[in-house]
Amino acid sequence: KLNGGLGTGMGLDRAKSLLEVTKGQTFLDLIAQQVASMKAEYKAELAFMLMNSFSTSKDTLDALAKYPELGSGSDLEFVQNKAP
């Protein structure tokens, strides 16, 4: 899932997916909860990975830390314009 754009045009200094949309939940929270729910319901190793930019990586990984069942670090992202 593409997550590389800062929301500077919307007055944000982080990824647009970290914008709160409802009751303290961000777009990213909703997506992470959907993936976690599917993994639990279907008992499957469902891969979830984001394409971040250098500017969105840290904030995104920090926000996803509350969902350890999804993985961490390089399990969750690759950074645009960066080779492994």
Q: What is the pTM of this model?
A: 0.85
Give the angle subtended at the CA of 21 by the CAs of 54 and 52, to the nearest 5°: 15
- The predicted-structure confidence for 13-32, as pLDDT tens digits, reads as follows 888 899 899 999 999 999 99
pLDDT category of residue 84 using cuts at 50, 70 and 90: low
pLDDT category of residue 7 using cuts at 50, 70 and 90: confident
Query: What's the CA gap between 9 and 11, in Å, rounded?
Result: 6
